[in-house]
């Protein structure tokens, strides 16, 4: 046997040391900034679709284990449209009939659901930490409307990435989703690919689009909403930075049932505390309010059978609208409800009221500046200068030139004057026109015209409709190409 040679041992040890050094450098080396900048930040993340599927696989059993476990509550009548009054409130309507044992069953299920989502180790949110973006849903006749709203967003200089969710593959339009939207930094996602076919419907889509989105800080906008300024400002400023959830008001008072407050173990709220919610727009952070969103998902999952009627009792727009803010309240998580009243914009009626076709929602930054000083214009409109308008929700009818924007009755078709001639949709009230600051309607129709004339043959819902571009062009030339005496006058036109 050959003699042991120290030199060979030293060589072996030196070689092993070199290998270890190389491995250490490989494991802990961080690329330089120049190299890192060309590698996407998500390069080593689990793909979004896998994160979404894992999240749903963890959430769905918790939802189903904690069903209300009782028949749907009966409603003895409709709450109707109760005007909001911050000083002399109405009595809260109590129109729900639900036996004591059913209330107990719902309360126990509600409490158990909250406990399970708090304790679950499998519910891992899908968002990319630190990300910001806009989320919406659109499909079929809503897709052309969404494109106009998206172009308004970009027109204001916003760079927020956008995710638009569609219910199923039947709403997915290949050229729009693969060519047009990516040019506007937006992409389509299909909810049924995550949750399966027919698992969620209509009003339920909103909360699941938010939960499955890749963004941590979210601006939600319905397809028929658009901003009048860069919405990034709202995500970077109070009240959002401290609250993590900002909602806007509806015209009406909250009509949540006393039974809901019992089920969720809350004190029954005064009718003067705040308006009902209008969730065409809201801001939410999934970092701070994931549990709120999960409870809102519970309310929506069992909304058609149980919670929608508990939260609205047949009030206007019954559906998902009350689920977000009420979920935060039930969990004791912070929120900021914009106090400035929503305003209808449209045509004046003979009785002085407005025949509205859109809703004007105020700047939460300016609203917060007032309320933080104890100034509540909802109680006294003379108490301070009103906030500017920040969002428009063009909700009735949808501004889809392939459908009902043009028509024969000015009461229901906003593009007509009372005498039947073509005219502006939004000419009143004067004070709200001034708070908008510039000719928003003209800009909106410029984008509608672009969509109509560049994508006339692209949308599935426009397939059998002829002359859309020509009709919009004619309307534009008649109403906007030249000044008219009845055009709104803006003192600070932008």
What is the rounded CA–CA span in Å between residue 486 and residue 484? Answer: 5
Yes or no: say if 128 and 215 are a contact pair by the CB < 8 Å rule. Answer: yes
Render 47-102 in DSSP notation, one character per residue: PHHHHHHHHHHHHHHHHHHT---SPPPEESS----PBP-SSSPPPPP--EE--HHH
**Residue 204: per-residue pLDDT:** 87
Q: Would you say 232 and 160 are in contact if contact means Cβ atoms under 8 Å apart?
A: yes
pLDDT string in tens for the chain (494-residue length): 344 334 343 444 444 444 333 333 222 222 222 222 222 333 236 899 999 999 999 999 999 999 999 999 999 999 999 999 999 888 999 999 999 999 999 999 999 999 999 999 999 999 999 999 999 999 999 999 999 999 999 999 999 999 999 999 999 999 999 999 999 999 999 999 999 988 787 778 999 999 999 999 999 999 999 999 999 999 999 999 999 999 999 999 999 999 999 999 999 999 999 999 999 999 999 999 999 999 999 999 999 999 999 999 999 999 999 999 999 999 999 999 999 999 999 988 878 888 888 999 999 999 999 999 999 999 999 999 999 999 999 988 889 999 877 765 545 567 777 777 888 999 999 999 999 999 999 999 999 999 999 999 999 999 999 999 999 999 999 999 988 888 888 875 44
> Does residue 86 fall inside a structural domain?
no
Radius of gyration (C-alpha) of the chain in whole angstroms: 27
Nearest-angstrom CA–CA distance, 338 and 104: 34
Residues 185 and 291 in one domain: yes
**Whether 332 and 347 share a structural domain:** no
Question: Which conformational region is residue 163 in: left (phi greater than 0), alpha (psi within -120 to 50 degrees), or beta?
Answer: beta
Q: How many angstroms from the chain centroid is the CA of residue 424?
A: 27
Q: Which domain CATH number covers 232?
A: 3.90.550.10
Structure tokens that stand for 483 in this block: 């000044």
For residue 129, give the nearest of 285, 333, 297 by alpha carbon: 285
Domain count, the chain: 2
Q: Report the C-alpha gap between 478 and 256 in whole angstroms.
A: 46
Burial 245-268 (b: 16+ CB within 10 A, else e): bbbbbbbbbbbbbbbbbbbbeeee
Residues listed for the chain: 494
Q: Do 320 and 350 have their domain in common?
A: no
Residues 307 and 393 in one domain: no
**416 and 436: one domain?**
yes
In a domain, 416, yes or no: yes
Identify the three-state secondary structure at position 356.
strand
Residue 8 covered by a domain: no
Q: Which domain holds residue 246?
A: 126-336
- Is there a single domain that holds both residue 282 and residue 150? yes
Co-location of 279 and 375 in the same domain: no
Return the SS3 of 150.
helix
How far is residue 223's CA from residue 398's CA, in Å, rounded to a whole number? 9
What element of type H or E holds 209? Answer: helix 205-212
Answer yes or no: are the C-beta atoms of 265 and 114 closer than 8 Å.
Answer: no
Quick one: pLDDT at residue 397? 82
185: nearest Cα among 166, 162, 157, 212: 162
State the DSSP H helix or E strand holding residue 343, giving kind and residue range, or none if neither.
Answer: strand 343-348
- Residues 248 and 141: their CA atoms lie apart, in Å, by 25
Task: Answer left, alpha or beta for residue 135, where phi above 0 means left and psi between -120 and 50 means alpha.
Answer: beta
Does residue 31 lie within any of the structural domains?
Answer: no
Q: Are residues 426 and 293 in the same domain?
A: no
Asked if residue 370 is part of any domain, the answer here is yes
| pLDDT recorded at residue 6 | 40
Looking at residue 407, what is its pLDDT? 61
Q: What angle do CA 381, 384, 388 make, to 5 degrees?
A: 90
Please, which residues have CB within 8 angstroms of residue 273's CB and are 6 or more apart in sequence? 254
* Of 347, 342, 340, 310, residue with least CA distance to 326: 310
**Residue that the structure tokens 């917060």 belong to:** 368
Ramachandran angles phi, psi of 464, nearest 5° = -105, 20
Which H or E run contains 115? helix 100-119
Please write down the HEC assignment for all residues of 237-260: CCCHHHHCEEEEEEEEECCCCHHH
Are residues 129 and 137 in contact, defined by beta-carbon separation less than 8 angstroms? no
- Same domain assignment for residues 176 and 315: yes
Q: 314 and 362: one domain?
A: no
pLDDT of residue 9: 39
Provide CB contacts within 8 A for 35, sequence distance 6+.
none
């Amino acid at each position: 046997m050959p003699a042991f040679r120290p030199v060979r041992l030293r060589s072996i040890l030196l070689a092993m040391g070199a290998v270890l050094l190389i491995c250490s450098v490989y494991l802990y080396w961080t690329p330089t900034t120049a190299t890192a900048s060309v590698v996407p930040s998500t390069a080593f993340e689990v793909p979004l679709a896998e994160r979404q599927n894992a999240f749903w696989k963890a959430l769905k059993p918790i939802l189903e284990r904690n069903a209300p476990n009782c028949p749907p509550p009966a409603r003895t009548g409709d709450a109707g449209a109760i005007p909001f009054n911050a000083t002399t409130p109405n009595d809260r309507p109590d129109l729900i009939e639900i036996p004591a044992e059913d209330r107990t069953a719902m309360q126990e299920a509600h409490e158990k659901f909250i406990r399970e989502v708090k304790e679950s180790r499998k519910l891992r949110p899908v968002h990319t930490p630190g990300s910001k973006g806009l989320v919406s849903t659109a499909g079929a006749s809503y897709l052309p409307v969404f494109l106009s709203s998206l172009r308004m967003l970009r027109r204001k200089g916003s760079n927020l990435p956008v995710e638009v969710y569609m219910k199923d593959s039947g709403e997915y339009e290949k050229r729009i989703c693969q060519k047009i939207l990516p040019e506007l930094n937006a992409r389509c996602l299909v909810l049924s690919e995550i949750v399966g076919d027919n698992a969620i419907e209509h009003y339920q889509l909103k909360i699941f689009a938010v939960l499955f989105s890749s963004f941590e800080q979210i601006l939600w906008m319905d397809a028929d909403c658009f901003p009048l300024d860069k919405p990034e400002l709202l995500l970077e400023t109070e009240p959002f930075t401290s609250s993590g959830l900002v909602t806007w008001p509806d015209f009406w008072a909250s009509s949540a049932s006393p039974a809901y407050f019992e089920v969720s173990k809350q004190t029954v709220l005064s009718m003067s505390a705040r308006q009902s919610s209008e969730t065409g727009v809201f801001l939410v952070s999934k970092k701070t309010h994931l549990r709120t969103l999960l409870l809102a998902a519970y309310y929506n999952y069992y909304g058609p059978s149980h919670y929608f009627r508990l939260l609205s009792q047949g009030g206007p727009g019954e559906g998902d609208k009350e689920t977000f803010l009420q979920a935060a309240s039930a969990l004791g998580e912070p929120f900021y409800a914009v106090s400035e009243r929503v305003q209808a914009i449209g045509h004046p009626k003979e009785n002085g009221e407005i025949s509205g076709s859109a809703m004007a929602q105020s700047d939460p930054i300016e609203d917060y500046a007032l309320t933080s000083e104890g100034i509540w214009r909802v109680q006294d409109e003379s108490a301070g200068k009103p906030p500017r308008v920040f969002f428009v929700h063009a909700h009735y009818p949808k501004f889809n030139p392939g459908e009902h924007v043009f028509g024969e009755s000015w009461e229901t078709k906003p593009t007509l004057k009372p005498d039947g001639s073509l005219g502006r949709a939004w000419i009143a009230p004067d004070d709200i026109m001034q708070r908008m600051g510039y000719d928003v309607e003209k800009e909106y129709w410029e984008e509608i015209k672009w969509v109509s004339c560049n994508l006339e043959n692209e949308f599935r819902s426009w397939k059998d409709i002829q002359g859309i571009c020509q009709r919009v062009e004619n309307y534009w030339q008649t109403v906007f190409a030249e000044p008219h005496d009845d055009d709104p006058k803006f003192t600070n036109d932008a």
